[in-house]
């Protein structure tokens, strides 16, 4: 990585001699540079877009980079983005690459679909000779709706894709909420009611299950198929709320303010702000941060949710008064956490208003997300996601990914596939179980 002169992000955020927008842009530029210091996909012998043992995190990195390019105009990382997003797209254009598909979860694939969807909505140029961004989002949608499972619980998407995976017998919020969001975004972009009908179907199933309570607006993490989804694991995570909120926001915008979607937008937003901002106006994943037990995945959640809250203001402008102060305070606190290692390393727990001693790519991604969330033009409601009728020009392929029917005609799984998948699953499961145990002890 090239030598770079660092300046304290906390000072950038507090500058008074320059516009706040330019100050935030500088902070985002610095954290993005630090974030990319963890990426090796563009180096000789490395795989573009790949992060061994945590494949989905590539999508989180590209989601941040897409917004960085969009809100700042800096094209430094554009070629790298195009390469990585295409490289991991899979042979059928559905983000089921052969190197990883034997152990992916529905949530892993879904996040890559959301990255492609954002690329289309922000008018990131399609790659000549490659899959279009819109078609990649459609490919993910097609393969995931083909997995909609009615054998138990009346429907729903399983957490994992293959029977040998731990988690295959669970249905969880981020997989279903993510598919709901993707369907809603495709509906708005294409104006095709095929997608809006699926969004309605996923939402109605979610609210009939223990995952989403449409009276209290509690969003549970998961539910077990063994008891026909009679109860739920109720750990609270920002991105579960954010995934469903974003879907409701897109449906509200798509339907021109239909009353069916007003209650979910209001209810989920209110519950999100109440639950995950316990320290004033600073976002926090309350299940793991207070006891300092956030794993790699969990560090990313509030950054993703910060982005979704920002896009909420663009699509439902009347939410701006509630959201804008929360994003501003969170960014200022995040900036004060980015003072580590004498190179602006960012921490996990922003509400401490100082570096917490942690270092990692995930911290940089989340900080970048919250800085960029504050670059939304709150006053005009512009500069947001386009549709095919408002300037979007990514090519459509409604049948994308349909040749990869990995449920009804699964490819034979080799012994090597099973061994590799088992090792990775065990690493994740034991790590997750340990974290949950620490949480219960800490509680």
Helix (H) / strand (E) element for 214: namely none
**82 found inside a domain:** yes
Q: What is the DSSP letter of 224?
A: E
Confidence of residue 9 (pLDDT cuts 50, 70, 90): low
Confidence of residue 382 (pLDDT cuts 50, 70, 90): low
- Residues 305, 310, 313, 314, CA torsion sign: negative
293 pLDDT more than 60: yes
**48 found inside a domain:** yes
**1 found inside a domain:** no
> Model confidence over 400-413: pLDDT tens digits?
997 654 443 333 33
Mean pLDDT across 43-65: 94
Residue with tokens 């797209």: 89
Q: Which of 102-116, 154-168, 300-314, 400-414 has the lowest mean pLDDT?
A: 400-414
361 pLDDT more than 60: yes
Confidence of residue 416 (pLDDT cuts 50, 70, 90): very low
Which has the closest alpha carbon to 136: 114, 160, 165? 114
- Residues 384, 387, 393, 394, CA torsion sign: positive
**291 found inside a domain:** yes
Which has the closest alpha carbon to 100: 85, 89, 114? 89
Q: Which residue has the higher pLDDT, 202 or 383?
A: 202
**2 found inside a domain:** no
Range of the domain at 379: 9-442
- Extract the tokens encoding 141: 């949608």
Which has the closest alpha carbon to 35: 73, 70, 71, 76? 76
Q: What is the CA radius of gyration of the chain?
A: 20
Residue with tokens 């990319």: 36
Query: Total structural domains in the chain?
Result: 1
**Strand segments (E) across 228-354:** none
- Extract the tokens encoding 62: 């590209």
Instruction: Judge contact between 334 and 350, C-beta under 8 A.
Output: yes
The reported pLDDT for the residue numbered 384 is: 83
**403 found inside a domain:** yes
Instruction: Judge contact between 316 and 249, C-beta under 8 A.
Output: yes
**4 found inside a domain:** no
Residue with tokens 């495709």: 186
**420 found inside a domain:** yes
Q: Considering the entire predicted model, what is its pTM?
A: 0.89
CATH code, domain carrying 22: 1.50.10.20
16 pLDDT more than 70: no
Residue with tokens 């800490």: 442
Mean pLDDT across 353-363: 96
């Amino acid at each position: 990585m090239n030598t770079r002169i660092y300046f304290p992000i906390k000072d950038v955020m507090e500058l008074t001699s320059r516009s706040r927008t330019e100050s935030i842009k500088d902070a985002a530029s610095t954290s993005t540079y630090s974030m990319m210091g963890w990426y090796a996909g563009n180096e000789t012998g490395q795989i573009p877009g790949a992060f061994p043992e945590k494949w989905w995190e590539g999508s989180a990195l590209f989601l941040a980079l897409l917004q960085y390019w969009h809100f700042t105009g800096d094209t430094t990382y554009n070629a790298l983005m195009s390469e990585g997003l295409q490289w991991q797209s899979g042979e059928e254009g559905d983000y089921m690459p052969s190197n990883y598909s034997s152990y992916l979860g529905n949530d892993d694939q879904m996040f890559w679909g959301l990255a492609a969807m954002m690329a289309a909505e922000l008018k990131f140029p399609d790659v000549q000779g490659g899959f279009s961004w819109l078609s990649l989002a459609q490919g993910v949608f097609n393969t995931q709706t083909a997995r909609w499972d009615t054998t138990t619980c009346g429907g729903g998407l399983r957490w994992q894709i293959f029977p040998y995976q731990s988690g295959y017998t669970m249905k969880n919020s981020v997989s279903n909420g993510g598919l709901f969001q993707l369907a809603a975004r495709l509906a708005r972009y294409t104006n095709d009611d095929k997608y809006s009908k699926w969004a309605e179907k996923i939402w109605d199933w979610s609210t009939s299950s223990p995952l989403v309570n449409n009276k209290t607006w509690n969003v549970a993490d998961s539910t077990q198929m063994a008891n026909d989804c009679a109860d739920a694991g109720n750990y609270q995570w920002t991105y579960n709320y954010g995934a469903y909120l974003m879907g409701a926001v897109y449906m509200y915008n798509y339907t021109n303010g239909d009353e069916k979607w007003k209650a979910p937008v209001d209810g989920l937003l209110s519950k999100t702000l109440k639950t995950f901002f316990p320290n004033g106006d600073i976002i926090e994943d309350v299940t793991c941060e207070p006891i300092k037990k956030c794993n790699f995945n969990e560090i990313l959640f509030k950054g993703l949710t910060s982005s979704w809250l920002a896009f909420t203001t663009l699509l439902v402008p009347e939410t701006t008064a509630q959201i804008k102060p929360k994003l501003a305070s969170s960014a200022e606190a995040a900036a004060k956490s980015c003072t580590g290692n004498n190179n602006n390393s960012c921490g996990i727990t922003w509400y401490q208003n100082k570096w917490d001693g942690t270092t990692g790519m995930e911290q940089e991604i989340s900080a970048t997300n919250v800085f960029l969330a504050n670059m939304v033009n709150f006053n005009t409601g512009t500069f947001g996601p386009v549709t095919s009728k408002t300037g979007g020009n990514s090519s459509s392929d409604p049948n994308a990914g349909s040749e990869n029917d990995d449920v009804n005609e699964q490819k034979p799984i080799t012994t090597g596939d099973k061994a590799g998948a088992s090792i990775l699953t065990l690493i994740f499961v034991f790590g997750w179980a340990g974290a949950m145990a620490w949480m219960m002890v800490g509680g």
